[in-house]
Chains A and B, each alone.
Chain A
């Protein structure tokens, strides 16, 4: 992707940024890279394995990244939505980062593959279904050529519908089984671009709202709070689920809440920082049929 490499080289040469955060080929597929010299720009790649949401590295509390200086961030559409989230919540300044948008036709589920797998209905990540930002808007520069609609069906929504069709007790049994494997390592939190709190509520001890012991009771409290704190903010990049070492289908929970805020408040997360997130704002005529 020479257009991307040239853009990065120009930004570094002109001194507009000190570091370009993108993807590189590692020993095990692609992974994030922090290019600080023009010579290394040809390590930058972009293909269907670039699943990471690089907006996580804009969290100002990551001093090991912030200390590298002003950054240029390579963003596909869903990453740009996360950057919009950080701007919407005043975590970063718009002119504090240069956004190199890249046109994206969908990615696969895992970055680990010797070369870029072709996109098919089976290999495409479920987040890419009906993607509306194949041409990211929140960018300073846009590279790459136009991409067709990604293949695949709404498997995520189908699995949620299947769970919704069950009764509460069956769903409770399903989630007790899934969440009992959680070891509360918080990889889901650390992988999320919008989980940027200095000290997460789960690490607060006075009072200790969430039990940090990874038994099912503590795990329910943790995952309920994580999902609730992301309601209306989550961009659906699925990185939380990919980071989970024990394969808990966390994307189902976050996607469900995306459906809920759409249904209740007609809100879809976008890459426009001006549109306020639904929770935290209100309308006097919000639905209240659940309130007797």
Chain B
């Protein structure tokens, strides 16, 4: 056993007084309260007002109305690209979250959009401020404020990621850029039919109809969607666009149909992965030098596609870009811990020298560090990292392998 059993668990460091309970099993935040928000979606809070009905056509008018009013409406849409050239034709056409302006673009309930909703709250590139030199002085102009936006039909795994990342974005210092977009955006999720066996939202305290982070929820029923609002923002949106929403044609039948849809989805995803997070964290905390990591690194290209497509990965780089002599912008861009330059010191020293160490960081940050520090697992089980990985790294398989080792340790 080359692991460092003798070393005290990393959670007892003096910096953040996280109770040992955080390791034992229940994920508790820094102040120790059990994470209520992480309750699986089975026990649903009460909807505000009774459910409404949105026909598919009305959804189209709603989107066009929003576009006309200059309010960006983000929804899953058919990918507007030319399609891959090298691969054989085969997969169903890809979808992406996009600011949509017409009903024809909408692709709710089709394939899971390839990039997550994160791009609308932490864009791939974003101006932090611009600078302009005049004489000896420098003039700084803050970034553009966010505009009111509506998200319609986003998957629960994408929506749940938002409150999870809220925690790091508001830890001590508040990231106003992220917060401004969060405040300005009303999010209606879509009950998910489960993409494939790489999904494991039910294994990370969520589910295919989880409410975490959503202002309201659409659930497919005959002829359209059953619409529920859960926050004031959601109710306000439904009220403001009352003409698009109608009474449920047959309230009890529709509700039963909606619940049946959600139950079937929960059933479908349940079998994909079961993990004991307490045991998992304990294993991660004591197996920093375990040979298991050397079995993951070799296959990994170190590209970080997994971080790009991940709804909860939020690491970023900050760069200056001169636009012309004496003026330019400072930008924040997506970054990933999987590249070799991420932790490279100016002296050439690199604490994470190879891909084994970098891949370990990805798993440890999501399933040990973030839960200990912020009380949420930094993963919503969308399975995109497994689908997007060019070399076939499979998150569900990795978590199963660690859980098995953890079970062995515990016995």
Residue numbers of A with Cβ under 8 A of B are 26-34, 52, 56-57, 62-65, 67-68, 108-112, 117, 122-127, 152, 155-156, 159, 174, 177-178, 181, 183-187, 189-191, 199, 203, 208, 211-215, 218, 238-239, 241-252, 255
Select B86's contact among A184, A199, A242, beta carbons within 8 Å: A242
26 contacts across the A-B interface (CB closer than 8 A): A28-B387, A28-B392, A52-B391, A57-B298, A62-B354, A67-B354, A110-B88, A111-B392, A125-B88, A152-B88, A183-B115, A184-B124, A187-B308, A208-B319, A214-B124, A238-B87, A241-B85, A242-B84, A243-B305, A244-B84, A246-B114, A247-B83, A247-B84, A249-B86, A251-B84, A251-B86
Cα A105 to Cα B394 in complex, Å, equals: 28
Cα A111 to Cα B88 in complex, Å, equals: 11
Select A109's contact among B88, B124, B355, B390, beta carbons within 8 Å: B88
Cα A252 to Cα B86 in complex, Å, equals: 8
Which residues of chain A have C-beta atoms less than 8 A from B87's C-beta?
108-110, 125-126, 238, 241-242
Q: Are A63 and B354 in contact (CB under 8 A)?
A: yes
- Whether B331 sits at the interface, judged by CB under 8 Å, is yes
Q: Are B82 and A178 in contact (CB under 8 A)?
A: yes
Asked if A31 meets B303 with Cβ closer than 8 Å, knowing A213-B319, A245-B114, the reply is no
Which of A109, A117, A199, A250 neighbours the largest number of chain B CB atoms within 10 Å of its CB? A109
Which residues of chain B have C-beta atoms less than 8 A from A178's C-beta?
81-82
Cα A178 to Cα B84 in complex, Å, equals: 11
Which residues of chain A have C-beta atoms less than 8 A from B115's C-beta?
183, 245-246
Cα A91 to Cα B86 in complex, Å, equals: 27
- If over half of B's interface residues share one DSSP class (helix, strand or loop), that class is named, otherwise mixed; here it is loop
Give 19 A-B pairs besides A122-B90, A174-B82 with Cβ atoms closer than 8 angstroms: A27-B198, A27-B396, A31-B392, A125-B88, A152-B88, A177-B81, A183-B115, A185-B304, A185-B305, A185-B334, A199-B341, A211-B319, A212-B317, A213-B125, A214-B125, A214-B333, A239-B390, A241-B85, A249-B83
Q: Are A27 and B305 in contact (CB under 8 A)?
A: no
Q: Say how far A74's CB is from chain B's closest CB, in angstroms.
A: 14
Select A186's contact among B86, B297, B303, B321, beta carbons within 8 Å: B303
Cα A213 to Cα B303 in complex, Å, equals: 16
Q: Are B298 and A34 in contact (CB under 8 A)?
A: yes
Asked if A124 meets B114 with Cβ closer than 8 Å, knowing A52-B390, A177-B80, the reply is no
Select A26's contact among B125, B301, B321, B392, beta carbons within 8 Å: B392
Residue numbers of B with Cβ under 8 A of A are 79-91, 94, 96, 114-115, 124-125, 197-198, 294, 297-305, 307-309, 317, 319, 321, 331, 333-334, 336, 339, 341, 353-356, 386-388, 390-394, 396-397
Q: Are B85 and A211 in contact (CB under 8 A)?
A: no
Asked if A64 meets B294 with Cβ closer than 8 Å, knowing A185-B305, A214-B333, A245-B309, the reply is yes
Select B353's contact among A56, A63, A123, A212, beta carbons within 8 Å: A63
Which residues of chain A have C-beta atoms less than 8 A from B354's C-beta?
62-64, 67
Q: Say how far B332's CB is from chain A's closest CB, in angstroms.
A: 9
